Chain A
């Protein structure tokens, strides 16, 4: 009773911050897009296309962080392999963009992408068929990661693999996929991945308007994902998920089929990651097996940790903040960033278990201004 009462209070309190979050997101998107398209280059109000693309990239990362927060912050499942779903979504989009190149590639083959011509392949592999259609590619961008997440989750959660074991297995999953995608024989461009994209749905990828549209779609998707996640977490389902995080066996004994909840939440999270990947690829213009690297997946966990897990907007802020710091740092002292990142892992876990959001809330509570959000203990004691 007490726990439920606390949670209800938390949700009511969060209502305000959700609205604020969505408001800020809309404002930033509209202003940035407007400033890029309306004001001419050179004007002080002009936002360069580079910045727009950078922001779009950050929003994709934010969406990815949101995906991790949904399962880690709310359900206590620490996935170290979410980069895999992100990359799979990205590869599906990349395959569509690759087919769109048509005969404009270096070898001018209307059917085969350049790297296949280079490998002396004479026909498209079966799994490349259909990717010339946008709707099919987008469907696949959801289905492939979704099915993988379902199968993996079903296997893992049913046999009650939890905690650290699950983390390491997700890491092994993305590692295995990375090794597989590095192979030329896989038919996904091997080491180099897919690149040299020309246009999407007939729009030139280099054009400002396309860039701004992609950026706006990323923002829209981030907003929608936020609302959907918030909706799920506020529903009955969300409460069961929280119960699973805090005391899984107790929830199970109460009669909830906990593994079903976990599997579907995992699939939902994987879908968010896949959407992020599919939006990421046309904006950065390349997808390669490096995206599967375990380091990427674990780095995105630290975005969530820095922002504060279990709050959704905390994860988004963390992703944008850490990536902004990364861009600045790597430009300034390239070697320093890894030290920073490493220190971030240690400092956040020891001193800031609830992230920046938790720190701010604590300060607010201390000053007596406004009701803080008493986060349920985020210690995901496996």
Chain B
């Protein structure tokens, strides 16, 4: 034990020495051009020591360093990471990423370093950090996490960015360069200049040149040089650029030329205007995304409540059933998550539609013409469904894994990125909406539904089996709610209360849009979603929700039939 401690201590001493010398050597190389012969001579003893230190590091091969890493204290870790970065290069990338993600563990006995992560089935699986070879499932209790802190995290990010800048794909290089803009120093500039020599991608070159321009502004360059650099930074949206320019524009008394300051201030205001513009777009997107969720939740209700006039308080539970169907199907086919969603959509429709038809046949049918009783009875059903799910699946939330193609985001520029799952759900909600519209307007079922909802007795006289049409309509509305549940499961966790959160909002959307009017529902969902998201930054999320509810309550007073009231005989 004592021996290991002493060994580590000596290694640390060597590493610290190496680090110090490396800095000195850096400083040396920068001044090389102006260095005189005498200075070079005087530096000779140091060069010797550099050689010694290098030998020391090289003597610690990567496996040795890894073993050190397992035992290192948080103070020692940065030095080891540096050593690993300089000795390993590209091969260190998986190691650093695992470390940053907190997936790096070491075996207690052998100090062997492994990556341990949960696989899709939820088991802990180990893999080699360098080769990524699968080492099979392990018991995480036999291993200890390699601890890191924020300092090491920053260092790791930096190291990853440097590796990516030279070795990654074009996208990775750009991301790496952007990441490196934060905290520009001489070594970053050196890396940038190195990279610029071989870089061919125009966008990556742009970012790198921005970085170099920032370095120029930070250094004590001449006024004309600074102005040229400023031009380079005009209109860039990266946060470090904006911070730097703001500090230049607001600084006083550090000897910066006023022309530069004025120019910087002008550029900052231009950048701010652009950022505000993009933030507006982002908020709009979030609003539309919320609107699409509301639309999905409310559109089934627009059929059962709006068209049939049946109030179904268990509608939210149809969403929940759809979401749980997605979860169950993922459990059944854990190997093919990407495929499972295509199975889940029709299954959720069928499950929810079946439940809806059962409710219609056995409860709602007997309460025809008694809306208040229907409300109470269906509320009872919603309680029973919730509690059943709680009993079967436990009251805890379940996580549904999104398919690969739905994760990630579409990064338009540094301040505007749209998440893929929200984009897909937005598109999905519109598709569902138009399919429903087609069913109601172009199929014989739709014709029957509209006939029955407009004049039940007359429809029956014309030979329409109204009881079957009722059941089918209710099944359709519930089934669509089930599909909405699939979409919701991609955004949030699946729990027994999932439906409860949406039921009041859904009713509000349908009532606001005008009962029996699908386009009204569409417009109401998106306008409420957008209004909610634009209120949120001003009032906070909860109050925004409250305000919207109050607004609708007041709106209904003014126009009891919603935005688009039904006209003609169908009304009343």
Contact = CB atoms under 8 A, between A and B. Distances in A.
Interface residues of A, number: 48
Contact of B511 (A156, A165, A380): A165
Contacts of B375: 78, 80, 164, 167
B187 interface: no
Contacts of A185: 540
Interface stretch (B48-56, B451-459, B549-557): B549-557
Contacts of A158: 557
A182 interface: yes
Main secondary structure, interface of A, reads helix
Interface stretch (B78-86, B266-274, B366-374): B366-374
A155 to B, nearest CB: 4
A66 interface: no
A338 B500 CA distance: 15
Contacts of B504: 168, 171-172, 175, 294
B363 A172 contact: no
B554 A176 contact: no
B394 to A, nearest CB: 11
Given A78-B372, A342-B383, A350 B543 contact: no
A175 B547 CA distance: 12
A37 interface: no
Contact of B387 (A165, A342, A344): A342
B332 interface: no
Contacts of B388: 339
A302 interface: yes
Q: How large, as a class, is the contact surface on chain B?
A: 35 or more
Contacts of A380: 370, 372
B279 interface: no
A160 interface: yes
Interface in B512-564: 540, 542-543, 545-546, 549-550, 552-554, 556-558, 560
A20 interface: no
A183 interface: yes
Contacts of A167: 372, 375
B549 A164 contact: no
Quick one: which of A80, A176, A301 has the most chain B CB within 10 A? A176
Contacts of B557: 155-156, 158-159, 161
A211 B550 CA distance: 39
A335 B390 contact: yes
A353 interface: yes
A347 to B, nearest CB: 8
Contacts of A171: 504
A185 B543 CA distance: 10
A228 interface: no
Main secondary structure, interface of B, reads helix
B384 interface: yes
Contact of A339 (B377, B387, B507, B545): B387
A165 to B, nearest CB: 7
A80 B546 CA distance: 17
Interface string B447-488: 000000000000000000000000000000000000000000
B381 interface: yes
B156 interface: no
B542 A182 contact: yes
Given A338-B384, A341-B383, A161 B556 contact: yes
B542 to A, nearest CB: 5
A298 interface: yes
A381 interface: yes
A155 B557 CA distance: 6
A345 B376 contact: yes
B543 A183 contact: yes
B195 to A, nearest CB: 50
Interface in A264-308: 294, 298, 301-302, 305
Contacts of B546: 176, 179-180
A257 B136 CA distance: 79
Contacts of B363: 346, 350
A339 B374 CA distance: 18
Contacts of A176: 545-546, 549-550, 553
B386 interface: yes
Contact of A169 (B377, B545, B556): B556
A179 B380 CA distance: 23
Contacts of B391: 335
Interface of B: 311, 363, 366-367, 369-377, 379-384, 386-388, 390-391, 504, 507-508, 511, 540, 542-543, 545-546, 549-550, 552-554, 556-558, 560
> Which 4 A-B residue pairs are closest in the complex by CB-CB distance?
A345-B380, A342-B384, A342-B383, A338-B387
22 contacts: A161-B560, A165-B560, A175-B504, A176-B545, A176-B546, A176-B550, A179-B545, A179-B546, A180-B542, A294-B504, A301-B376, A305-B376, A335-B387, A338-B383, A339-B383, A339-B388, A342-B387, A346-B381, A349-B370, A350-B366, A350-B367, A379-B370
Interface of A: 76, 78, 80, 152, 155-156, 158-161, 163-165, 167-169, 171-173, 175-176, 179-180, 182-183, 185, 294, 298, 301-302, 305, 335, 338-339, 341-346, 348-350, 353, 379-382
Given A179-B545, A335-B390, 20 more contacts: A80-B375, A161-B556, A163-B372, A169-B553, A172-B553, A176-B546, A176-B553, A179-B542, A294-B504, A335-B387, A339-B388, A342-B382, A345-B376, A345-B380, A345-B381, A346-B363, A346-B384, A349-B373, A380-B372, A382-B372
